[in-house]
Amino acid sequence: MQFTNIRMGITKTDQFTNKQNSIATLAKAIGHPARVAIIEYLLKVDSCICGDIVNELPLAQATVSQHLKELKNAGLIKGSIEGNAICYCLDEKALAKLQNYFENIAKHLEKKKSKCC
């Protein structure tokens, strides 16, 4: 038949709840090892990072900048200009949201204790 859907390839965001989309957006942002590494680095240094993120990663400057942008868009990190560099740090609220979400799931699973499979 070969009819062509104009929306082919686009995620059907409007068919799901805001909460589902919100969790998916956060998870998607974490869904790349470079971005996991960035998050872990920001966590490790125990303060904001001004400048040396690029040197920490095995990727080109343009690529790192792109990953930082995605983390920022998802709301996982915040960045503020600090002289000649940019100061990045983790957004507690976004990470708390994920922590809550998975804790809730874990609790539910604990209660039901896999009745099958």
Residues of this chain that interact with its own copies (CB under 8 A) are 11-13, 15-17, 20-21, 23-25, 27-37, 39-40, 43, 46-48, 58-59, 78, 80, 87-90, 92, 95-96, 98-99, 102-103, 105-106, 108-109, 112, 114-117
Told to check if 117 binds DNA by CB under 7 A, we report: no
73 interface partner picked from its own copies, DNA, none, CB below 5 to 8 A per type = none
Q: Which of 32, 35, 24, 46 is nearest to 68 (CA)?
A: 35
User: Given the complex with DNA, which of 61 and 104 has the nearer CB atom?
Assistant: 61
Q: Between 40 and 59, how does the x/- string for binding to DNA read (CB under 7 A)?
A: ----------xxxxx----x
Told to check if 7 binds DNA by CB under 7 A, we report: yes
| Position 11, amino acid | T
Q: How far is the CB of 90 from DNA (least distance, A)?
A: 15
DSSP states of the chain as a string?
-----TTTTS--GGGS-HHHHHHHHHHHHH-SHHHHHHHHHHHHTTS-EESTHHHHSSS-HHHHHHHHHHHHHTTSEEEEEETTEEEEEE-HHHHHHHHHHHHHHHHHHHHH--S--
User: Given the complex with DNA, which of 17 and 83 has the nearer CB atom?
Assistant: 83
Between CA 90 and CA 113 the distance in angstroms is: 34
94 interface partner picked from DNA, its own copies, none, CB below 5 to 8 A per type = none
